[in-house]
Amino acid sequence: KQEVTQIPAALSVPEGENLVLNCSFTDSAIYNLQWFRQDPGKGLTSLLLIQSSQREQTSGRLNASLDKSSGRSTLYIAASQPGDSATYLCAVCYTGRRALTFGSGTRLQVQP
């Protein structure tokens, strides 16, 4: 079964700290992987998309890496801010499928 798991489920850090969110997937035959941000009761905002052939993507203070052989991706957030507080979701598009398979998310709280 193609699954996506995110650890931890929740995380609370003080402002300014660098942090890493983890995502693991069960099948290495992926087309791409996306990280999303979701604010309470809202839709999803795409943060970074990594194609199967890529190892990492960067946008501002965010860096996402992909290791297909180990079935893992990480989202690194540098110098966290209270405005980064949200749920972060990892989603995998497996080869041959048109759907995204999502993890349950990591709920991040950055304390001022």
Partner 1 sequence: DAGVTQSPTHLIKTRGQQVTLRCSPKSGHDTVSWYQQALGQGPQFIFQYYEEEERQRGNFPDRFSGHQFPNYSSELNVNALLLGDSALYLCASSLVGTGNEKLFFGSGTQLSVL
Question: Site for partner 1 (CB under 8 A): how many residues?
Answer: 24
User: Is the backbone of residue 72 left (phi > 0), alpha (psi -120 to 50) or beta?
Assistant: beta
Binding mask 9-28 for partner 1 (x = CB under 8 A): --------------------
CB atoms within 10 A of CB 10: 10
- The pairing of beta strand 62-67 with beta strand 30-38: unpaired
Identity (one letter) of the amino acid at 8? P
> Residue 53 Cβ, how far from partner 1 at the closest point, in Å?
11
Closest separation in Å from C-beta 4 to partner 1: 7
Q: Which stretch binds partner 1 (CB under 8 A): 11-19, 46-54, 60-68, 78-86?
A: 46-54
Residue closer to partner 1, measured from CB, 77 or 90: 90
| Cα 44 from Cα 99, distance rounded (Å) | 15
DSSP assignment of 40-92, as one string?
A: TTS-EEEEEEEETT-SEEEETTEEEEEETTTTEEEEEE-S--GGG-EEEEEEE
- Which of these segments, 13-21, 31-39, 56-64, 78-86, binds partner 1 (CB under 8 A)? 31-39
Q: Is 32 in the site for partner 1 (CB under 8 A)?
A: yes
Q: Which residues of the shown chain bind partner 1 in the complex (CB under 8 A)? A: 4, 32, 34, 36, 41-46, 49, 51, 89, 91, 93, 97-105
